[in-house]
Amino acid sequence: MSETLDYMKENHIYRTTTEFSSAQSKYVTLNNKKLLMFASNSYLDLCNNTEIKQFAKGIIDNYGVGSGGSRLTTGSSLLTKQLEDLIANFKNTESAIVFNTGYMANVGTISAICDKEWTIFSDELNHASIIDGCRLSKAKIIIYKHNDMTDLENKILSNPFKKGLIVSDGVFSMDGDIVNLPRLLEIADKYNILSMIDDAHATGVIGINGRGTSEYYNMTKNADITLGTLSKAVGVEGGYVCGNKILIDYLRNKSRAYIFSTALSPASVAASLKAIEIISKNLNNVRQLQYNIQFFCKELQSNGINAKSETAIIPIIIGDEQKTLEISKALLNDGIYISAIRYPTVAKGSARLRVALMSSHTQEELKFTAKRISLRINEVLV
Ligand SMILES: *Cc1c(COP(=O)(O)O)cnc(C)c1O
């Protein structure tokens, strides 16, 4: 272990936690310094939302702090039922099931459905929780080129299978690009393969009402399985899976990650309920985020940085691990918090600044940040 840690330190891929002393919001406090947050997954800035906090506090008074059991024993409440119904409605599906995290939703879904009789076709840039779910299932795993539907179809044709699953992120977590859903679903139909989309970074972000990838493409049809998290735009914690009644009933009875873990606390469930209600009712929040994405990309471009994204994730590829860290540290001195993403989260030599926007960032803050990023990159790379 210590040899591995030494190796990681020498290669600038050793990591530590960063301890903030404030709520996660547009401004955060780190080492007594107020910083502008440009790295949070709380895209709609709901983690510290007053209305949601008030509601969750009231729920703690009535329901307490712990759920007291797993979902099939004593851990379910009227609140969890309400949340599942609300999610199914929000995502335009028949039914939904809540897990404790998005990670558990992926691992618990794929491993419950697939076994060694199955072949899984998985995008090379899929989230680690999808990869872990595939591995745990013992299915045959075929990796296709990133968002390359021709390669996907070729791999399907060259790998005879009995039962198949195609799985992809909706919005890719480190590149911020969007899956070619129309084509993926066509292929799934054509070859009679189950389809699964992870909308973790899509829900609350893309689509005219922030409903995610299928709304982004104006499609009425969803993948067979749509999955997501309550920890990103929704601003709380938890994961969910949406689909038809049979799928959800099956997962409730078969998914070990769902069955064998204590249910979310009532406050978390209540906070998610209120957050999704707010996202549904107050569309300005989603629209403002979408406006900020466009505005910020333009600002970066006019500062000489080649950036493009339709999602809240805007990667700025630097390449070298150490230089990426240096730039991120320099930006901290400017009062801006942006994560340096390195191997093994992304491929070696493709280290990047991963900017994450919030709907609450103002035009001045977006302008200032784009300028400082450009300046700091030029300083370090020249
Ligand atoms: C963050 C993320 C997850 C995990 O969700 P958590 O609720 O944080 O466990 C799953 N899939 C994707 C694509 C993600 O980005």
C-alpha to C-alpha distances, 237 to 20, 138, 380, nearest whole angstrom: 18, 28, 37
**Which mutation among 87, 99, 171, 173 tests ligand 1's pocket best, with the greatest number of atoms within 8 A of CB?**
173
Among 83, 97, 86, 71, which Cα is nearest to 243's?
A: 97
Contact (CB, 8 A) for 309 and 379: no
Nearest alpha carbon, ligand 1 atom 6: 102
Contact (CB, 8 A) for 117 and 253: no
Contact (CB, 8 A) for 102 and 229: yes
pLDDT of 345 > 90? The answer is no
pLDDT at 76: 97
Handedness of CA 92, 96, 100, 104 (dihedral sign): negative
User: What is the average pLDDT across 3-14?
Assistant: 91
pLDDT of 13 > 90? The answer is no
Going from the Cα of 232 to the center of ligand 1, the distance in angstroms, rounded, reads 8
pLDDT at 177: 97
Domain spans of the chain?
Answer: 2-37+283-381, 51-281
pLDDT at 324: 95
Q: Is 326 helix (H, G, I), strand (E, B) or coil?
A: helix
Q: How far apart are CA 367 and CA 48, in angstroms?
A: 24
Going from the Cα of 103 to the center of ligand 1, the distance in angstroms, rounded, reads 5
pTM metric for this prediction: 0.96
pLDDT tens, residue by residue, 156-201: 999 999 999 999 999 999 999 999 999 999 999 999 999 999 999 9
CB within 6 Å of ligand 1 — which residues? 101-103, 106, 127, 129, 169, 173, 198, 200-201, 229, 231, 239
> For the structural domain made of 2-37+283-381, what CATH number should be given?
3.90.1150.10
pLDDT tens, residue by residue, 93-142: 999 999 999 999 999 999 999 999 999 999 999 999 999 999 999 999 99
Active site residues: 173, 201, 232
Radius of gyration of the chain, Cα coordinates, nearest whole angstrom: 21
Q: How far apart are CA 23 and CA 40, in angstroms?
A: 11
**Which mutation among 104, 129, 198 tests ligand 1's pocket best, with the greatest number of atoms within 8 A of CB?**
129
Percent of the chain at pLDDT > 90 equals: 95
Q: Residue 342: how many CA atoms within 13 Å on its side-chain side?
A: 18
Structure token pair of residue 125: 């840039």
Going from the Cα of 154 to the center of ligand 1, the distance in angstroms, rounded, reads 29
C-alpha angle 131/132/133, rounded to 5°? Answer: 90
Q: Which atom of ligand 1 is nearest to the CA of 126?
A: 13
Q: Which atom of ligand 1 is nearest to the CA of 106?
A: 10
Among 258, 247, 224, 221, which Cα is nearest to 133's?
A: 258
Identity at 275, one-letter amino acid code? A
Contact (CB, 8 A) for 108 and 99: yes
Going from the Cα of 115 to the center of ligand 1, the distance in angstroms, rounded, reads 23
pLDDT of 146 > 90? The answer is yes
Going from the Cα of 128 to the center of ligand 1, the distance in angstroms, rounded, reads 8
How many CB atoms within 10 Å of residue 310? 17
Looking at residue 127, the DSSP 8-state letter turns out to be -
User: What is the average pLDDT across 269-296?
Assistant: 97
The domain 51-281 is placed in CATH, from the list 3.60.20.10, 3.40.120.10, 3.40.640.10, 2.50.20.10, at 3.40.640.10
**Which mutation among 103, 234, 241, 354 tests ligand 1's pocket best, with the greatest number of atoms within 8 A of CB?**
103
Nearest alpha carbon, ligand 1 atom 8: 102
Nearest alpha carbon, ligand 1 atom 2: 200
pLDDT at 382: 78
